[in-house]
Amino acid sequence: MTWIHVYLLAVGAVVTAGLSVVSITIGLAIGISVCAASLAKSAPLRVLARLYVSFFRGVPLLVLLLLIYHLLPQIGIDVPGTVAALVGLTLCTSAYQAETLRGGFVNIAPGLVEAGRMIGLSPAQILVRIRAPIALRLTLPALVNEAIMILKASSLVSVVGVGDITRTAQNLSSSTFRPIEMFATAGLFYLLLNIVVARGGNGLGRMLGLRG
Amino acid sequence: MTQDAAITMRNVVKRFGGNTVLRGVDLDVRHGEVTCLIGPSGSGKSTLLRCAAFLEEHDDGIIRIGGAPIGYDAAADGSRTRLPPGEIARVRRSIGMVFQQFNLWPHMTALGNVAEGLRQVLRLPKREAQDRAMAHLTRVGLAERASFYPSQLSGGQQQRVAIARALAMDPKIMLFDEPTSSLDPELTGEVLTVMRDLAAEGMTMLVVTHEIGFAAHVGQHIVFLDEGRIALEGRAGEVFRKPWHPRMAQFLQTYLDRGASVLLEG
Amino acid sequence: MNFDALIEALPEIIDGLEVTIAIWLAGCLFGPLLGLAIALGRQFGPRWLDRGLWAFVEVIRGTPFLVQMFLLYYGGPFIGLDLDPTPAGLLGLIVYGAAYFSEILRGGLIAVPKGHVEAALCVGLDRGQVIRRILLPEMTLLVLPACVNMWVVLLKETAILSIITVPEFTLAVTAFGSATFAFTQSAAVLALAYWGLTELTGRLGRSLEARFDRFRLV
């Protein structure tokens, strides 16, 4: 184990972090839309949202990645493995985030909304000023957990050839015949990234002025 | 129909599934009076109050707030027509409501809670909204708690902020839904004092309460609800001195047994 | 799709499904048992044990299952743990699950109201009886939804074992896909099959929860 190996793994960590940040961000945007659909008045919309959440939460990420990796070229979209990996991670996390957010909205005490109606807030104002901030308060810890989960799950992109932490460790392991050091160091990098995300989540919570 | 009444209810019926909670209630709440709704739990008091705010939709009958129908209006052929949401919101503007569970928004300070309607509904400039909100917090004795979040306030303080929040919108009528029921006994006093002051200022109030002492002292019009019907109503003095309705007598007895008789004496 | 090839590969695919389900069920059973041991050790054991188990659980929960499997499968032989893919996968899944189950169960233990334990001590139950007769049953009730969730997670994680060549369902189907160049179709079949299985598990879990609902006080 030399500094070169650590450096290469650190580069992999940057790839892992980048993949995670992008998929979580886009996943949140999709998740919010799917969550809105799942709470909509229209029954077909709700059914679609439920199917979406159920499918992308129910299929192992590895299988999802394989499917997307092979499916995209077949329907004429020729993209590098990294993009296929991003699409898979994003779809997966969007379903989890949609479900988490839905739980937040459903668990808002009805009285808080009624209080808004009584002082004359419009439905849109109630959504923006009351329901959304409270749902975020309720779900921020779960969303941070979800971010950590996708960070770890992103290790599966190594199977479609993306040079993340895990893929780098695999390559180094077979070239140096030192799997224990390489994979243990890879594990340390994941732990480190987890801590960063958890800290970031706490900071975000404070920034948004969320309190118990 | 008394046009000068603050709230009039005619034949109000409310069902939850197969369960009929209100079985045709006629009620008049007069301007400047404190009307207390009392009765055993499950008698429909809270439901009736929530119907007056149209937080529950009554299945039959008409409710008028200051003469204007809320939620449903009577059509010429005797049926009812649903009023548009904008109209419901407009009528609701003359009502302030205080809930059993306070329902303060946890992500806003006490001041933020009170100022929210002034900013978002009345569109007041920030400074003016905050000044007015502060004045209302002062009125309920909580000026020095303005920057506290609900989680940092006691139940009694939270309920007083909730009262200030409702008053800030300058309502003609205040509805109170068991405002002290989720408070520790030693905290009910501060909330009842605020309510008493409000009554003394001539606010029209409809109060669902278990505080028989408050009803006896502050209430002017007492309505005893039993199994979804008004079993007895009248002036406070008569109703409590001579509770001629057997259910009312039985209901009061349970309070007297708990030592509330002292409160009734005054 | 090449149907002759499919019929030829079918026995292997069915074998793969059996391996997946066997490993998964073992994880569902032994994961919680080992997890319970960890939870009890942390809750009632000495401080050093709590510390050590905490670190172990955090490392397992903080790193990807795939990396753990690589470490075990490729690193194991260097420390005298030369396992075939299937036993390695089985061991890995149980240990992985145990870390998560230990946290779920510990949360359940802590959530049992103190008063229930005090009431049991007051009627004269001893420490062991309190754990067996009061704590564990009440805890089970509290943790059931989280356990069902974890069972579904474990089912999905078994797919990862294909990467270390455990002859399970994903490996069998992808092997067929490569042999016939039906990559997309085989991945789609995999997706639908896992979706059906996880949906079924979730439903069974929820009906189990509903059964236990009558014990719930609140």
**Structure confidence at residue A23 (pLDDT):** 94
Residue B231 domain-assigned? yes
Report the pLDDT value the prediction gives residue C8, as an integer from 0 to 100: 79
The stretch B90-97 carries a mean pLDDT of: 93
Higher-scoring residue by pLDDT: A209, B40: B40
Task: Indicate if B182 and B256 belong to the same structural domain.
Answer: yes
Band of residue A211 on the pLDDT scale cut at 50, 70, 90:
low
Closest chain C C-alpha to A121 CA, distance in angstroms = 33
CATH number of the domain residue B59 falls in: 3.40.50.300
A170: domain range? 3-207
**What is the reported pLDDT for B197?**
92
Q: How far is A185 from chain B (nearest CA, A)?
A: 42
Average pLDDT score over residue span A166-182: 90
Task: Tell me what the mean pLDDT of segment C178-184 comes to.
Answer: 83
Residue A169 is assigned to a structural domain of this protein: yes
Residue B118 shares a structural domain with residue B180: no
What secondary structure letter does DSSP report for A178? Answer: -
Res A10 pLDDT > 50: yes
Query: Is pLDDT above 80 for C216?
Result: no
pLDDT value for B2: 47
Give the pLDDT of residue B33. Answer: 92
pLDDT at position B266: 40
**Contact present, A and C (at least 3 Cβ pairs less than 8 Å):** yes
Q: Which two tokens stand for residue B264?
A: 């009734």
List the one residue out of B63, B30, B58 whose CA is nearest residue B44.
Answer: B58
Tens of pLDDT, residues B2-25: 456 899 999 999 999 889 999 999
Over residues A107-112, mean pLDDT: 92
Are B10 and B44 members of one domain?
yes
Nearest residue in C to A69, CA atom: C184
Are A63 and C74 a contacting pair at CB < 8 A? no
CB spacing of C199 vs A54 below 8 angstroms: yes
In angstroms, the CA C136 to CA C147 distance is: 14
C-alpha–C-alpha distance, residues C24 and C2, integer Å: 30
Structural domain count, chain B: 2
Confidence (pLDDT) at B259 = 57
From residue B2, alpha-carbon distances to A65, B9, B12, C94 in Å are 71, 11, 16, 75
Task: Give the sheet arrangement for strand B68-69, strand by strand.
Answer: B19-30, B5-16, B60-65, B68-69
Facing residue for A118 by CB, picked from B97, B101, B104 = B97
**C187 at the A interface (CB within 8 A)?**
yes
Do B207 and B78 fall within a single domain?
A: yes
Per residue in C161-177, pLDDT (tens digit) is 999 999 999 998 988 88
In a domain, B101, yes or no: no
Mean pLDDT of A69-82: 85
pLDDT surpasses 80 at B261: no
What per-residue confidence (pLDDT) applies to B1?
45
**Would you state the pLDDT for residue C214?**
72
Residues 126-165 of B with CB under 8 A from A: 149, 151, 162, 165
Residues B219 and B258 grouped into a single domain: yes
Q: What is the pLDDT of residue C148?
A: 92
- Whether B27 and B151 map to the same domain: the answer is no
Q: Do C63 and A152 touch (CB under 8 A)?
A: yes
Q: Which stretch of A104-108, B3-7, B208-212, C29-33 has the lowest confidence by average pLDDT?
A: B3-7
Total number of domains in chain A: 1
pLDDT digits (tens, 9 = 90+) for B17-51: 889 999 999 999 999 999 999 988 888 999 999 99
Whether B16 has its CB under 8 Å from any CB of chain A: the answer is no
Total number of domains in chain C: 1
The shortest C-alpha distance from A182 to chain B (Å) reads: 46
Q: Could you tell me if residue A45 is inside a domain?
A: yes
B142: pLDDT confidence band, cut at 50, 70 and 90? very high
If asked whether residues B114 and B159 sit together in one domain, one would say: yes
The pLDDT assigned to A209 comes to 63
The CA angle B38-B39-B45, to the nearest 5 degrees, is: 70
DSSP character for C214? Answer: G
Query: Counting one residue from A and one from C, how many pairs have CB atoms under 8 Å apart?
Result: 111
Q: Is residue B99 part of a domain?
A: no
The domain that holds A94 is classified in CATH as: 1.10.3720.10
Q: Using CB atoms, which residue from C67, C79, C163 is nearest to A186?
A: C67
**What is the span of the domain harbouring residue C42?**
3-215
CATH code assigned at C61: 1.10.3720.10
Q: Is residue B7 within 8 Å of B65, Cβ to Cβ?
A: yes
pLDDT at B265 over 70: no
Domain contains A212: no
Secondary structure class of C82 (helix, strand, coil): coil
Average per-residue pLDDT for chain C: 89
Mean pLDDT of C185-195: 92
Which whole number is the average pLDDT over C68-96? 92
Q: Is residue B100 part of a domain?
A: no
Sheet strands (E) in chain B: 5-16, 19-30, 34-38, 60-65, 68-69, 72-74, 80-82, 95-98, 173-177, 204-208, 221-226, 229-235
- Checking if the pLDDT of C150 tops 90, the result is yes
CB contact under 8 A, A211 and B149: yes
Q: What is the pLDDT of residue A37?
A: 93
- Residue range A24-53: mean pLDDT, rounded: 93
Contacts A–B by Cβ distance under 8 A: 66
SS3 state at B10: strand
Q: Where residue A72 falls among pLDDT bands split at 50, 70, 90? A: confident
pLDDT digits over B111-137, tens only?
A: 999 999 999 999 999 999 999 999 999
Note down the domain range covering B164.
106-171
In this prediction, residues B213-234 reach a mean pLDDT of 89
Angle at C158 between CA C169 and CA A83, to 5 degrees: 90
Residue B18 · residue B2 · CB < 8 Å: no
- For residue A75, tell me if it sits in a domain: yes
- Give me the residue label for tokens 């991945």: C187
Q: How far apart are CA C147 and CA C126, in angstroms?
A: 28
Do B231 and B185 fall within a single domain?
Answer: yes
Asked whether the beta carbons of C89 and C69 are under 8 A apart, the reply is yes
Inter-chain CB proximity A111 and B101 less than 8 Å: yes
Quickly state the pLDDT bin for C2 (edges 50, 70, 90): low
Average pLDDT over residues C91-114: 92
To 5 degrees, how large is the angle CA C40–CA C46–CA C52? 80
Task: Using pLDDT thresholds of 50, 70 and 90, give the confidence band for residue C217.
Answer: low
Token pair, residue A99, equals 């479900």
| Min distance A128 CA to chain C CA atoms (Å) | 31
Q: What pLDDT band is residue B264 in, cutting at 50, 70 and 90?
A: low
Chains B and A touch (3+ CB pairs under 8 A): yes
Q: Is the pLDDT of residue A52 over 90?
A: yes
> Would you say A36 and A99 are in contact if contact means Cβ atoms under 8 Å apart?
no
Q: What is the pLDDT of residue A212?
A: 42
